[in-house]
Amino acid sequence: MTTPRLFGIETEYGIAREGMPEIDPVVESMELVRSYLTGPFEQSWDYTGEDPHVDQRGFRVSSLQQDREEDQFAELDSHRPFTFHEMKSDLVLTNGARFYNDHTHPEYSTPECRSLVDLVAHDRAGERIVFRAAQKRNQDLESCHVKLYKNNTDFHGHSYGCHDNYLVSRGIPFEHLSNGLMPFLVTRQIFSGAGKVGIEAQERDSAGGVFQISQRADFMETQCSVDTMHDRPILNTRDEPHADRKKYRRLHLILGDANMCEYATALKVGTTRVVLEMIERGICPSIDLDDPVAAIKTVSQNPTLTVDLPCKSRKAITAVDIQRRYVEAATKALFGTDAETDWILNEWSDVLDQLTRDRSILVGRVDWITKQWLLETFMEAENLEWTDPWLASLDLEYHNVDPEAGLFLSLETAGNSRRVCDDAQIEEAIRSGPSDTRGGIRGLCVSRFPDRIQSVQWERIFFKGGIINPKTLEMGDLFDPDQVWAVREALEQASNPASVCE
């Protein structure tokens, strides 16, 4: 594969206050993020250069549907005694991550990672960081403590995202990305879905009586779009590479669920990375689903996985068989490439086999199966039906990031989950970024030179050095591990980061 491996996850967390059905999520999210600070807030994230209107298909849209919502937000926020940047409260952490208020949700973006173990460790580090921020916040609250959920719905028609991101070659035509990814993404949920009680539509409460595979599938409305908050697409086309634009794209996927199972996170990102490599090599299977938007909902609402999905030029095919077509082609071409790729291919094939044989083996590995097992166990003990509203509250508590309250974390503590990393690796990920990516460089600069940093973007760091001659550490093409190590060593030995920029 010619394109460097690089990926990351952005997670928006659900936020609530105990005993308070109505809260101001903007203020709550802002206060939560700032609770993680050890000193006063200082604006450091630089938004210049970001343009969500540019589309990977080769054009720039004049407006987005979400622009109107942003204008409404601005009008509603006009009474608040905060500037835009104060409300965002963007923090760049010593592990290279970004932690901020995404208007109504605290959001944690991992640093860029090269390995699945690093990615899972940093995703789990995000859970602990937001929880520790909540603990500090709750020390200042006399009652109605903050609760946080790593999920994707409030069960009242509002969805928030978990976005997986990948570095992709600019040389791959977007049509090839779309054709190769669409059938895979529609069916990826069979091992990466988080599970949900009920069916929702935007701005509508959940209709109970159904258990489905994915939390986000209900909210997918079109195949491809640059929008993210309205007409949500299976394949987002926003063109913000956060890298050298001449060489790279950033594939920004907004359809995925937030996973509690480490195994599901690793398999979700790992299989997607493998499919991108297949697209680059031109070896993806050809599957033309008749209606991908309808198919993603059909798959989610049929956990038996036996429903056929209509295609345009071939007979209908099940979600499991679509995934099998991908893993078989990938195994034939890529097995033996490296240990991580072999792990992905072996586990991908195994999970597909278990989905059609003995799903109980996947408890603690696949979220929707784990949640379904928990709920069915509870229903049997309490003699409940799927229409009982009690189940929605249990669904929510599955995602609680408080180790003493979260249903999944209780299972994990009892040893009933498949781990990809250990607690020591997670704690290290809280402190430091990956040693072989620019995310680690970013974190090192924050750790060593916090007073020298003027502002930060994903692909560069601006150091204080005067208006005439500011110093910039460019990282738009810093992806080779040897080059990363060279920059790291230089920064570790430097007394002034400006010397590394020269």
Q: Is 134 exposed, middle or buried (0-12, 13-18, 19+ CB in 10 A)?
A: buried
Placement of tokens 């166990």 in the chain: 377
Measure CA of the first residue to CA of the last residue in the chain; give whole Å.
Answer: 31
Q: Is 175 exposed, middle or buried (0-12, 13-18, 19+ CB in 10 A)?
A: exposed
User: How high is the pLDDT of residue 61?
Assistant: 78
User: How high is the pLDDT of residue 65?
Assistant: 66
Q: Which long-range contacts (CB under 8 A, 24 or more apart) does 346-353 make?
A: 347/263, 347/266, 347/267, 347/270, 348/191, 348/267, 348/270, 348/271, 348/274, 348/323, 351/191, 351/267, 352/190, 352/191, 352/320, 352/323, 352/324, 352/327
17 backbone dihedrals φ, ψ, rounded to 5°: -120, 130
Of 194, 236, 256, 253, give the one whose Cα is nearest residue 52. 236
187: its two tokens = 């069916």
- Contact indicator for 462, 455 with CB cutoff of 8 Å: yes
- The Cα 423–Cα 425 span in angstroms is 5
Of 265, 221, 237, 111, give the one whose Cα is nearest residue 181. 237
Of 369, 372, 412, 417, give the one whose Cα is nearest residue 394. 372
Q: Is 203 exposed, middle or buried (0-12, 13-18, 19+ CB in 10 A)?
A: exposed
- The Cα 182–Cα 187 span in angstroms is 9
- The Cα 395–Cα 402 span in angstroms is 15
Domains and CATH numbers, the chain: 7-427 (3.30.590), 435-501 (no CATH)
Q: H or E segment at 162?
A: strand 162-169
403 backbone dihedrals φ, ψ, rounded to 5°: -60, -25
319: its two tokens = 């979600």
Q: Helix-strand-coil percent breakdown of the chain, rounded to 5?
A: 40, 20, 40
Amino acid at 56: Q
Residues in contact with 477: Cβ distance below 8 Å, sequence separation at least 6, in sequence order: 243, 244, 247
User: How high is the pLDDT of residue 43?
Assistant: 87
User: How high is the pLDDT of residue 54?
Assistant: 85
Active site positions, annotated: 102
User: How high is the pLDDT of residue 12?
Assistant: 98
User: How high is the pLDDT of residue 325?
Assistant: 98
Classified as helix, coil or strand, 214 is coil
- Contact indicator for 46, 456 with CB cutoff of 8 Å: yes
User: How high is the pLDDT of residue 50?
Assistant: 82
pLDDT in tens, the chain (502 residues): 579 999 999 999 999 999 998 898 989 999 999 999 988 888 899 988 788 888 898 878 776 766 565 555 556 666 777 787 888 999 999 999 999 999 889 999 999 999 999 999 999 999 999 999 999 999 999 899 999 999 999 888 889 999 999 999 999 999 999 999 999 999 999 999 999 999 987 556 666 789 999 999 999 999 999 877 778 999 999 999 999 999 999 999 999 999 999 999 999 999 999 999 999 999 999 999 999 999 999 999 999 999 999 999 889 999 999 999 999 999 999 999 999 999 999 999 999 999 999 999 999 999 999 999 999 999 999 999 999 999 999 999 999 999 999 999 999 999 999 999 999 999 999 999 999 999 999 999 999 999 999 999 999 999 987 555 679 999 999 999 999 999 999 999 999 998 898 6
